[in-house]
Amino acid sequence: MTDTSYQTSENITVWRSISDSLLKIRTEHIVVTLAILLLVVFVVYPYGTMLKKSIVTKTGDLTLEHIKEAFASGDVFLEPLINSLSISFFVTLICLVIAMPFAFLVSKTDLPFKKLISIGLIVPYILPSYGLSMSWILLFSKKGVLEFFWGKELGFSVYGYWAIVTIQAIHIYPFAFILLTNAYAQLNQEFFDAGRILGGGKRYVLWRITIPLLAPAILSSAILVFAYAMAEFAPAMLLGGPEGIYVLTTQIWSFATVFPTNLPMAAILAITLMLCTLTVLTFNQIYLARRRFTTITGKASRIDIVALGKWKYAALAGCFAFLFFVIILPLFTLMLGAMIDIWGKGYGLGNLTLKHFKEVFFELEDCKRSILNVFSLGVSAGAVAVVIGMVISYFIIRSRQAASRALNLVAFIPFVIPGIVIGIGLILSFTRPPLALYGTIWMLLVGYVIRFLPIVTSSGTAAFRQIDEELEEAGRIFGASWIKTQIKILFPILKSPLIGAWLLVFVSVMKEVSMSSIVWSPGTEVAPVMALIAFADGEFSQAVSLSGVMIAVVLVGTWLAVKIGAVKFVET
């Protein structure tokens, strides 16, 4: 009896151990499977639906009529496409012209206040593009801020092709500046010394050594800027619309929102825009994969700092003058515009008031609702994206399977897809049961989570790579389930990256306007879109006040993320 009891007890222990192990595996797999299912439903399915809409008739038959119609309509397809490509080209060129000298100054010279200048040069990207566009109009328009203080007419149109190029370049050049600054900082001085020893002059060193070594950073900067410029929406809408200049993003918005809507044409334009961005990014990857750009070796290298000499303070003055025009002047103009009591009476102290902020916060119902909506969506989207993104990041790092690489690719897709394309995919996919989300606040929440999920996954994968698996194994040895291991062991370690990712998603929601401009519906307004629409309708005080609130939130949120050490400033 004793042997039998012992054997029975041992069997029970073994079965409990097996069942516990199965439960742990099942829990982990269930969580990961749910995350994958969400990605398939809300990322993969909308793009498939968008493609189907462009090549299938209402009766379900395959057709190329929509595509033929698009190519035959030069004014609604080819013209916006050419505008998008040409604007993006000039924006890229200007961004490189701006970024290269500033990157050189802050990374390779003895310029004073380099840290302050570096931070300032990144700020224009943190500012929403719709805010920069509004400030441009208020500053340079007839009877605008500049004419009022200068006392003379400027004599040029504030709207048009080059206005779009200018604002987009101001908004996007920080991408190129960051990449080129890092590239300059890593250049090994020995390469230049070798060139001079062999008799090469300054021109030879520039074209045969410096430019080739900087080639990957220059190309990556150009590709990233070009792709981002293709996806920009607000500058083209505010500065191009009044002049009849359309780009792909504004034409997609028009087909999707202006009656009579044409969703098949919107889908074709969205696919075209997506293919343009994916093509240039793929070209960048192929180019870099085929060439070697090694500048850092195993031995110590010398990084020399160039002495500016008598040009030091001239360069410093130039940096501060540039920052004044791209940061201080736009913010001052927006603040002044938000306080104008009666438009047309000038910008004197007697015509300034704070009543417009009171109106948008307490009196105008749609503005109050839009502010509440965007704040609640920012908080919720950040939380949901962090939970899903961290689960996906965990699986990507801990799994050795090919599925993890595929999951990484799917999770990264929204980063390279323009927001307005995501919006079109959501509208086409979730207007009917079983997931009839269109017209509800949930559609916006899904859109924001998808749009900014790559922020969390990139942060999460970097964090999980630094955590040894032995910590999890120790938790399991002591009987903790997989979920308990995550909550009790990993989450406390990941607290800083989690907070940082949440803050970055929250700040990004405050800036986002392209996707939400076609997904919102009456009752689900968000402040950035309300500001854009109000400004286009001539409600300048209401629009600028809302923009001012959003910019303040963005700047404070970014500062807080950096201050608490959740993220580095460049990561924003």
Could you report the per-residue pLDDT of 482-493, keeping only the tens digit for each? 677 777 777 777
**SS in 3 state form for 464-521?**
HHCCCCHHHHHHHHCCCCHHHHHHHHHHHHCHHHHHHHHHHHHHHHHHCCCCHHHHCC
d(CA 332, CA 531): 18
Who wins on pLDDT, 229 or 52?
A: 229
Is residue 250's pLDDT more than 90? yes
Which of residues 386 and 468 earns the better pLDDT score?
Answer: 386
pLDDT at 298 over 50: no
Average pLDDT estimate for 285-312: 62
What whole-number distance in Å separates Cα of residue 187 and Cα of residue 487?
43
| 527-536 helix and 129-140 helix, angle to the nearest 10 degrees | 30
Closest CA to 519 of 239, 249, 133, 253: 253
| pLDDT at site 294 | 46
- In the predicted model, what is the mean pLDDT of residues 80-107? 93
Bridge partners (DSSP) of residue 62 are 56
Under the banding of pLDDT at 50, 70 and 90, the label for residue 324 is very high
pLDDT band of residue 309 (cuts 50, 70, 90) is confident
pLDDT for res 384: 93
pLDDT category of residue 296 using cuts at 50, 70 and 90 = very low
> How far is 149 from 139, CA to CA, in rounded Å?
10
For the stretch 149-152, contacts whose Cβ atoms lie closer than 8 Å and that sit 24 or more positions apart, written own/partner, are 149/347
Which residues, in sequence order, are bridge partners of residue 56?
62
Q: What is the pLDDT of residues 127-136, one digit of tens each?
A: 999 999 999 9
Query: pLDDT at residue 233 above 90?
Result: yes
Check whether the bond before 330 is cis (ω within 30° of 0).
no
| The overall pTM is greater than 0.95 | no
Residue 446: its pLDDT value, please? Answer: 93
Confidence of residue 320 (pLDDT cuts 50, 70, 90): very high
Residue 132's pLDDT is 94
pLDDT recorded at residue 402: 63
Topology classification of domain 19-52+354-572: MetI-like fold (1.10.3720)
Contact predicate 154/202, CB 8 Å? no
Identical fold for domains 19-52+354-572 and 63-294, yes or no, is: yes
- In this predicted structure, the answer to whether residue 113 has a pLDDT above a threshold of 50 is yes
Confidence tier at 167 by pLDDT (50, 70, 90): very high
Q: Are 276 and 85 in contact (CB under 8 A)?
A: yes
Residue 464 near residue 393, CB atoms below 8 Å: yes
Contact 218, 182 (CB under 8 A): no
Q: Which phi and psi (to 5°) does residue 339 adopt?
A: -105, 5
Kindly give the interhelix angle for 211-231 and 161-185, rounded to the nearest 10 degrees. Answer: 140
Whole-number pLDDT of residue 136: 94
Q: What's the pLDDT band for 304 if we cut at 50, 70, 90?
A: low
For residue 569, what pLDDT is reported? 52
* pLDDT value of position 184: 77
Kindly tell me if the per-residue pLDDT of 445 is higher than 90: yes
Max CA pair span of the chain: 108
- Give the pLDDT confidence score for residue 297 in this predicted structure: 44
For 135, residues 6+ apart whose C-beta sits below 8 A from its C-beta are: 329, 330, 331, 333, 334, 337
Residue, of 551 and 63, whose pLDDT is higher: 551
Q: Is-contact 163 239, C-beta < 8 A? A: yes
pLDDT in tens, 562-572: 777 666 655 54
Residue that wins the pLDDT comparison between 553 and 68: 553
What pLDDT score was predicted for residue 414? 81
Asked if residue 113 lies in contact with residue 318, where contact means CB atoms within 8 angstroms, the answer is no
Q: CB under 8 Å, gap of 24 or more: what pairs does 534-538 form?
A: 535/130, 535/134, 535/137, 535/238, 536/237, 536/238, 536/241
Residue 465: CB atoms within 10 Å: 10
Q: What is the mean pLDDT of residues 366-386?
A: 94
Mean pLDDT of 418-444: 89
pLDDT of residue 558: 84
Interior angle at CA 5, CA 3 and CA 7, nearest 5:
70
- The CA distance from 494 to 467, in Å, is 9
Residue 142: per-residue pLDDT: 83
pLDDT of residue 209: 59
pLDDT of residue 465: 77
Instruction: For residue range 392-416, list pLDDT tens digits in order.
Output: 888 887 776 666 667 777 777 787 7
Distance CA 453, CA 501 (A): 9
- List the end-to-end C-alpha distance of the chain, in Å, as a whole number: 70
pLDDT at 108: 81
Percent of the chain with pLDDT over 70: 81
Examine the pLDDT at 458 and tell me if it is beyond 70. yes
> What integer best gives the mean pLDDT of the chain?
81
pLDDT at 526 over 50: yes
CA torsion angle 337 338 342 343 (round to 10): 30
At residue 551, the pLDDT reads: 92
Taking the domains of the chain in order of start, what are their residue ranges? 19-52+354-572, 63-294
Cα separations (Å) of 220 from 182, 226, 557?
12, 10, 28
At 160, the pLDDT band (50, 70, 90 cuts) reads: very high
Multiple choice CATH, 63-294, 1.10.3720.10, 1.10.30.50, 1.20.120.80, 3.20.20.70: 1.10.3720.10
pLDDT at 299: 45
pLDDT (0 to 100) of residue 152: 78
Out of 40-54, 94-108, 121-135, 295-309, least confident range: 295-309
* Whether residue 300 has pLDDT greater than 70: no
Per the model's pLDDT, the better-predicted residue between 205 and 340 turns out to be 340
Question: Looking at the predicted structure, is the pLDDT value of residue 387 above 60?
Answer: yes
Nearest CA to 25 among 446, 350, 508, 485?
A: 485
pLDDT above 90 coverage of the chain, percent: 30
Q: Could you identify the residue written with the tokens 């009529």?
A: 65
Query: Average of pLDDT values for 405-428?
Result: 82
Is the pLDDT at 335 greater than 70, yes or no?
A: yes
Q: Where are the alpha helices (DSSP H) in 236-311?
A: 248-257, 263-289
pLDDT in the model for residue 22: 45
